[in-house]
Amino acid sequence: MKALRAESRAAGLFLAPALVILLVFFLLPVVAGFALSLTDFDLYSLGDIHNVRFVALHNYAAILRSEIFWTALGNTLYFSLVGGPLTVAVSLGAALLVNAKAACLKPLFRTIYFAPVVTTLVAVSVVFRFFYHPRFGALNRALGAIGLPQIDWLGDPRWAMPAIILLAVWKNFGYNMIIFIAGLQAIPDELYEASRIDGAGAWRQFRHITLPMLGPTFLFVGIVTAIGYLQLFAEPYVMTYGGPLNKTLSAVMLMYKEGFRWWRMGYAAAVAFLLCLVILLATAVQLRFQDKPERS
């Protein structure tokens, strides 16, 4: 018993530094953020603290009524719902290739495909910003060489978000690929052997063995990717600053602009919490969606 109490005391000591940091620099701000979102704290408040009013849910109502919020949310969802599955698909494809028995130099290719993940997002946004240049960019030059029309990728409201999605897919597919590879390697070979004896071709094996066995992996990858993509910020900040015509304005960018450019901090805090709600919903939806097939 004395030993257990000693352990408990030690646990307190061991947990203290990390928990204090998380409490003071994460939990406390999150709670304060919610409180902030219930006030109209802004530029005037910074000058004179008496210029603050408790406005309850007024900020939330104003945001839900504003056109710019729905634009930002729509853009963010567009990015997630198109970019997410696209990234997952490319990752799975890459994983299947790298994991294939016929593949040579697996470690080399795995490294190459993972390299974009470790690069700094701001730096590669700068590179891609140039790639997308209507006249000098490599992409348009390539399109021109095969006779396709040139597109003003970052200047055309229709193509700016697809351009950013492309960047995101390139940057992130390597991460999910690694997870998929681990998942693929966990599938016992006997299953494939058995189905081959039954006469199943590669496609059927994929559909009936690989995909179902990867179920939990898909769930993990899907949630992590969705949560990450809903927090889109650096790419539009560096490449388009939310334009053209606010077509690449993301929810986090809206929060940043309202909070740190215009200093409407109560309003911006509300935007942040609404986004948090969306992320929670997206996670819950994914969990529910994945649960159903397993039960059957």
Rounded least distance, CB 82 to other proteins, Å: 19
Rounded least distance, CB 20 to other proteins, Å: 8
Give 51 or 150: the residue with its C-beta nearer to other proteins.
Answer: 51
| Helix-strand-coil split of the chain, %, nearest 5 | 75, 0, 25
Give 155 or 162: the residue with its C-beta nearer to other proteins.
Answer: 155
Rounded least distance, CB 102 to other proteins, Å: 4
> What phi, psi does 88 have (nearest 5°)?
-60, -40
Give 141 or 208: the residue with its C-beta nearer to other proteins.
Answer: 141
Give 209 or 246: the residue with its C-beta nearer to other proteins.
Answer: 246
> What phi, psi does 267 have (nearest 5°)?
-60, -45
- As beta bridge partners, residue 39 has 54
Q: Do the beta carbons of residue 44 and residue 51 sit within 8 Å?
A: yes
Cα atoms in the 13 Å half-sphere on the side-chain side of 87: 32
Give 51 or 208: the residue with its C-beta nearer to other proteins.
Answer: 51
Residue 185 CA, distance from chain mean position:
25
Rounded least distance, CB 150 to other proteins, Å: 14
Residue 13 CA to residue 6 CA, distance in Å, equals: 11
Rounded least distance, CB 106 to other proteins, Å: 9
Q: Which of 287, 42, 75 is nearest to 168 (CA)?
A: 75
